[in-house]
Amino acid sequence: MTANTHIEVKDLNVHYGTIHALKNIHVKIPNCQITAVIGPSGCGKSTLLRSFNRMLDTMDDVRVTGGVLVDGENIFAANADVPRLRRKMGLLSQRPFPLPMSIYDNVAYGPRIHGISRRSDLDRTVEKYLRMANMWDEVKDRLREPAAKLSIGQQQRLCLARGLAVEPEIILADEPTSALDPISSRHIEQQFRELRADYTLVMVTHILRQARRLADYVLFMYLGELIEHGPAAELFENPREELTKDYIKGTIS
Amino acid sequence: MRKQIEEIAAKILMIGATVVVAGMVVLILGTVLWRGLPALSWDMISQTPSGGYYLGKGGGILNAIVGSILVAGGATLLSLGLALPVALCLNVYFKTQSRLAGCVRASLDVLWGVPSIVYGAFGFGLMLWLGLRASLLGGIITVALMILPIMIRAMDEVIHMVPREMLEASDALGATRWEGAWKVILRQALPGLASAALIAFGRGIGDAASVLFTSGFSDRIPMSLAEPAATLPLAIFFQLGTPFPEVQQRGYAAALILTAIVLAASALARLVSHRAGRFVIR
């Protein structure tokens, strides 16, 4: 029934303590497209993204009802194999967080955990995904150096390579360019366009123009509610809801 | 005008306090060096006491040097094995505002404040119950108990500094919590963990009261865990307690050796930190 949708959100409600952060979210994320989640600060867009791979668990006092089906499996089910489901999703956060190890080991971290240990296999994997993140040529001679030595833009691409290396089908990005300079941002955006053919991308952004540049499908959220969603062209040109119009015109932000 | 006076007064007070503290360090090290260095000899470091050492005759305190390193080193290793899992558990498995974690931290703080003589008495009671005599093993267990809360709390603080997002990055790749703790958090926190172990070692090697009943004292170097072991703080105490000035001088020399061991351990920890710190994300 849901076999061809990687992520389907069903009646999702999230409470932080007394705050109702997500209200009855119900949406299917289209495959192999870039979906942008837009909306003003505090509208719950990050919370929605973090619910997809159940990153809300680490926070205090969170209550979740409803669910997120990842390839038909509810990740919030009590018996869900969370690490296995998370493996289907790469995550890019606002600021890159490389792991405290070498460039090589950062990319190899996921594959090693999932059982690849042969040196030649790891070498091949690391090269493949560093190439995919367009940084192989920059780092091929310094793979043993600490990841901390890279510039922040390179670190973000390293994090992308690290996420791709576990062979996910979905990439989640939480304002992935907000800490980057314009040139690094362009790199990341370009990569997203290239990845669109094979991956389902979901990107939270507060930059409306970025959403216009990249998105195929758009979710507009406001104060924890999903106000409107649809193909980007349609939503940007002919928004149905007043709030969406106001947001796109810039009357609210 | 008033603000300026306040500013100047605060500055004077702070600089004054800093000078007093720094002066204390100089004074302590100075006294130990001044009084200990003349009495320090190769014999003291390389020989066990011969008969009448405490009356001013020949020999050294190798027994106490080895004993102290064994007791404090063993205790550090033992508590390392317990402290790491606890500190990781407090930060990785418990939520940040977990009530249980709060209770654990509060009780560790209480334990930290318990005087070492109480640990000595408790350790002694434990040994009686287990049928152990005053021995190296007894000393190691008691000192380990004493330094455990110090080590856990120090490690707890260090691990707490690791950015949450780093663990999330590991989680997001499909790693289990254990893998994240072991492969990411430990590596990020390693320099701090080395300092934590060092603080605990320093506290353990310098304490007299906890080993007083539990590790005993002997003129020989212990050859097994069941033999009593001499320790430097007690050796210092015995030497300073004699009426003979030359033996008292040796007491200061022994204090100098103890200080040198702690400084050497500190240098080692710094070296480890430096090497391990290469990959740390700042």
Angstrom CA distances, A120 to A108, A125, A142, stand at 12, 9, 18
pLDDT mean over A58-83? 87
Q: For the residues A47-73, what does the mean pLDDT come to?
A: 87
SS3 content of chain B, % helix, strand, coil (to 5): 80, 0, 20
Which residue on chain B is closest to A156 by alpha carbon? B169
Looking at residues B146-165, what average pLDDT do you find? 94
Q: State the Cα–Cα distance between residues B125 and B134, nearest whole angstrom.
A: 11
Chain B interface includes A176 (CB < 8 A): no
pLDDT of residue A101: 93
Structure tokens at A94: 């606002």
Phi/psi of residue A16, nearest 5 degrees: -105, 110
- Rounded to 10°, the helix A119-132/A152-164 angle is 120
A178 — contact with chain B (CB < 8 Å)?
no
Q: Which residues of A touch B187 (CB under 8 A)?
A: 99-101
Express each pLDDT in B71-112 by its tens digit. Answer: 999 999 999 999 999 999 999 888 777 889 999 999 999 999
Give the other-Cβ count within 10 Å of B135's Cβ. 21
The residues with which A204 forms a beta bridge, in sequence order, are A37, A174
| Residue pointed to by tokens 């380990």 | B144
Strands A225-231 and A89-92 come out as: unpaired
- Measured CA to CA in angstroms, residue A216 lies from A34, A80, B22, B68, B69 at distances of 5, 30, 65, 70, 67
Flag if A83 and B174 touch (Cβ within 8 Å). yes
In degrees, rounded to 5, the angle at the alpha carbon of residue A210 between the alpha carbons of residues A207 and A213 is: 155
pLDDT of residue B96: 72
Could you tell me if residue A21 is left (phi over 0), alpha (psi between -120 and 50 degrees) or otherwise beta? alpha
Interface test with A, best of B100, B186, B279, B282 (most A CBs within 10 A): B279
Q: What is the overall mean pLDDT for chain A?
A: 90
The token duo for A87 is: 């493996």
Question: B272 touching A, CB under 8 A?
Answer: no
What pLDDT digit, counting tens, does each position of B46-68 carry?
888 887 888 888 888 999 999 99
Residues of A in contact with B188 (CB under 8 A): 100
Question: By three-state DSSP, how is residue A126 classified?
Answer: helix
Judge contact between A13 and A44, C-beta under 8 A. no
Residue A80 · residue A74 · CB < 8 Å: yes
Are A127 and A155 a contacting pair, CB within 8 Å?
A: no
Q: What is the CATH number of domain A5-98+167-249?
A: 3.40.50.300
What count of other Cβ atoms lies within 10 Å of the Cβ of residue B151? 30
The full set of domain ranges for chain A reads 5-98+167-249
**Among all residues of chain A, which has the CA nearest to that of B190?**
A100
Question: Would you put residue A167 in left (φ > 0), alpha (ψ -120 to 50) or beta?
Answer: left
Interface size, chain A vs chain B, as Cβ–Cβ contacts under 8 Å: 87
pLDDT on residue A56: 85
**Smallest CA–CA separation between B282 and chain A, in Å?**
7
Among A86, A87, A101, the residue with its CB nearest the CB of B279 is A101
- The residues facing A174 across adjacent strands are A204
Per-residue model confidence as pLDDT tens digits over A177-216: 988 899 889 989 999 999 998 999 999 998 899 999 999 9
CA distance B217 to B229: 5
Chain B contact present for A111, CB below 8 A: no
Mean pLDDT of A16-40: 91
pLDDT at B16 over 70: yes
CA distances from A158 to A163, B181, B186, B187 (A): 9, 21, 21, 19
For residue A84, give the amino acid letter.
Answer: R
Rounded to a whole number, what is the distance in Å from the CA of B180 to chain A's nearest CA? 10
Partners of A102 in the beta sheet? A146
**Range of weakest confidence among A56-60, A221-225, B187-191:** A56-60
Q: What is the pLDDT of residue A1?
A: 40
Average pLDDT over chain B reads: 91
